[in-house]
């Protein structure tokens, strides 16, 4: 599916969309679901170096990537599945602000799952393919390697949470 088709509101939706405030959040928080993802939306203020690294993900997955300040209205569809950072357990302000967008979307009935990159939530579990996750992080985001090189929690764990209203 091309980038233009992803945003074409006339096309039937059944997209898996990961919201990653920072490039590397999609791997740290949603490694398990990357193969399913059709679209990754990164924050629109992402610096050029990090954008260039993120675009290397296309060498490993068939996924469209956009850098935006908000979710396009035509993606607000109950057939789409969204992954947002958890607005409660995340501590970075950008993660929390995107998480609050996800909360608003969940409250109107969209399919939203929250993920955690801090590994401080009560719903964290062990990752089965830790070696694959670490290798992918090293290949795609060499500028950020010191983050997971010394803090193995980013490689060893993930967590997902759905809210009921």
**Which domains are assigned to the chain?**
16-161 (3.40.50.10320)
Q: What is the pLDDT of residue 151?
A: 95
135: how many CB neighbours lie within 10 A of its CB? 12
User: What is the CB-side half-sphere exposure of residue 37 using CA atoms within 13 A?
Assistant: 26
Q: How far is CA 136 from CA 9, 99, 105, 125, in A?
A: 32, 25, 30, 19
Q: What is the pLDDT of residue 137?
A: 98
Q: Tell me which DSSP letter residue 70 carries.
A: S
Long-range contacts of 103-107 (CB under 8 A, 24+ apart): 103/163, 105/71, 105/76, 106/163, 106/165, 107/165
- pTM listed for this prediction: 0.93
C-alpha to C-alpha distance for 114 and 99, rounded to whole angstroms: 8
Q: What is the pLDDT of residue 6?
A: 60
C-alpha to C-alpha distance for 65 and 68, rounded to whole angstroms: 10
**Which distant-in-sequence residues (6+ apart) come within 8 Å of 100 by Cβ?**
87
Q: Tell me which DSSP letter residue 98 carries.
A: H
**In which order are the strands placed within the sheet that holds 157-161?**
64-68, 39-43, 16-20, 81-85, 111-115, 157-161, 124-126
Write the pLDDT tens digit of every residue in 35-65.
999 999 999 999 999 999 999 999 999 999 9
Q: What is the pLDDT of residue 50?
A: 97
Write the pLDDT tens digit of every residue in 110-164.
999 999 999 999 999 999 999 999 999 999 999 999 999 999 999 999 999 999 9
- Nearest CA to 140 out of 66, 46, 57, 61 is that of 57
- Identify the three-state secondary structure at position 49: helix
């Amino acid at each position: 599916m091309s980038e233009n088709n992803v945003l074409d509101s006339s096309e039937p939706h059944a997209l898996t969309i990961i919201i990653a405030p920072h490039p590397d959040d999609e791997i740290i928080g949603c490694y398990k679901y990357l193969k399913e993802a059709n679209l990754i939306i990164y924050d629109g203020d992402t610096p050029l170096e990090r954008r260039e690294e993120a675009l290397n993900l296309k060498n490993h997955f068939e996924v469209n990537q956009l850098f935006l300040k908000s979710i396009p209205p035509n993606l607000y569809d109950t057939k789409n599945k969204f992954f947002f950072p958890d607005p409660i357990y995340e501590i970075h302000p950008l993660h929390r602000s995107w998480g609050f967008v996800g909360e608003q979307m969940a409250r109107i009935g969209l399919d939203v799952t929250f993920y955690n990159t801090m590994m401080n939530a009560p719903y964290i579990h062990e990752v089965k393919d830790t070696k694959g996750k670490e290798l992918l992080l090293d290949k795609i985001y060499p500028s950020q390697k010191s983050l997971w090189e010394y803090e193995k929690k980013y490689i060893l764990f993930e967590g997902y949470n759905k809210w009921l209203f």
